[in-house]
Amino acid sequence: MGGQAKAKKKSKAKRKDTKPNGGALMSPQERMKAKMQEKAKKKTAEKYTIDQLVEKTEECIDNFDFDMARLYCQRALDIEPTNLTTLDMMGNICTELGEIEKAKQVYLKAVELSPEDGHSKYMYLGQIHTGMEAVQYFSKGTEVMLNTMDKHTSEASAFGAAAFPSECAVTKKDVSVAFCSIAEIFFTDLCMEEGAADRCKEAIDKALEYDEHNPEALQLMASYLFSIEKTEEGREYLKKSVSSWLPSLQKEEESLASTEHDMEEEKDQNKSNIPPYESRITTAKLLIEAEQYEMATEVLEDLLEEDDEVVEVWYLLGWLFYLQLDKQDLTSNGVNFRKSAWTYLSKAKKSGPLPFTTFKIIFKTLQSNLVFYLSRFRKQVEFQTTSKKKKKKGSANNNCEKMCKYYLFMSCIDCFVCGIAIVEVCCY
């Protein structure tokens, strides 16, 4: 009997394991989740096509509903995981949601699947990374764009324009913007590297070669020229950059337009030329450096209309009005400038701490005035301490600190980094 029982046990058919990963390492909850995902995938495939899901995703992105966009995009990826368009969209969505690591994984997967087609994944990877890694991604993206343009041109020449009626997916402006991204990195992250200035200039020249009217490229050239002390040339490039989108300069150009149709086309082009918010903050800083105060005021006031919660914009407006005190007759406009400086700088102080980049402007402008202010502090302290026969202990330091704070307002309104330095030098 024992032998028969054993034989019966051996003849028992082995059950085929159809569970994901063999089911051995999955908990009941994980198995249930896997089944639900598989069911949802089949249901989605039956209800929507890839094109419909992509369309839904684009609608959500246009409405800034990135959470819902991610759901539609993920459904599309469940159906077709290697779809490059969907992968690019998912990477963009993850970036908008602040999920940088997830975005990086998605873009790297797209690079692995198709390294020579589609430049956008390289441009996004360049934005995510820093330093030389970013340069490599931007350079590769630029290479892909140029290859795409060459291919489109060759095919159009071989088969005729009628065979390729649609425009190339890549424009010269796209290439120009890519070279601007490379130039910015050599201007900032890699500015101390050997040959950084030459590579920066080379990238800016390339950007202007592909789009001579690109405001970003013109602004970068202005920054470069300021950095090598070619101020007048820098001002010319800066004015060219700003004139393509600043309202007051647009009106001057529109008045020269011959017809109403020309004016409409000019307005549409100017709207498309408006740089991003952060870029216009940089524009304002450069205009201040170039002493183009009226244009700087217009740029900053437009930025406030868009978003009045950016501390740096409030500060720059206050600093701008302060700088004009020495340029104007105090009997006429001086009081107004002083009041405006106080208003904007006080607002900046209440709104929050200033970013470190703002202090670069402060220190650069204060450098020439710092010795002058310190000498005034010391002279007044000496006068007060010698003129009073009886003074309480510590009164000299107290008076000095009050004057420090007063003159500090005259220079940068309670900028505590400067304040601590000045008070320590003249009081202690």
CATH top-level class of 39-113: mainly alpha
DSSP letters spanning 42-102 = HHHHHH--HHHHHHHHHHHHHTT-HHHHHHHHHHHHHH-TT-HHHHHHHHHHHHHTT-HHH
If one counts every other C-beta atom within 10 angstroms of the C-beta of residue 210, the result is: 21
Asked if 152 and 164 touch (Cβ cutoff 8 Å), the reply is yes
Parse the chain into domains and list their residue ranges: 39-113, 371-428
Question: In this predicted structure, what is the pLDDT of residue 373?
Answer: 43
Single-letter amino acid code for the residue at 295: M
Kindly report the number of other CB atoms within 10 A of residue 385's CB atom. 13
Q: What is the pLDDT along the chain (428 residues), one digit of tens a residue?
A: 444 444 444 444 444 444 444 445 677 777 776 666 665 555 555 577 888 899 999 999 999 999 999 999 999 998 899 999 899 999 999 999 999 999 999 999 999 999 998 899 999 999 999 999 999 999 999 999 999 999 888 877 776 655 554 556 789 999 999 999 999 999 988 989 999 999 999 999 999 999 999 999 999 999 999 999 899 999 999 999 999 898 776 665 555 554 555 555 555 555 667 888 999 999 999 999 888 999 999 999 999 999 888 888 888 888 888 888 766 554 455 457 777 777 777 777 666 655 444 444 444 444 434 444 444 444 444 444 444 444 444 444 444 444 444 344 434 433 433 433 333 333 33
- Dist. CA 59–CA 53, nearest whole Å: 10
Helix (H, G, I), strand (E, B) or coil at 414: coil
Q: Are 279 and 312 in contact (CB under 8 A)?
A: no
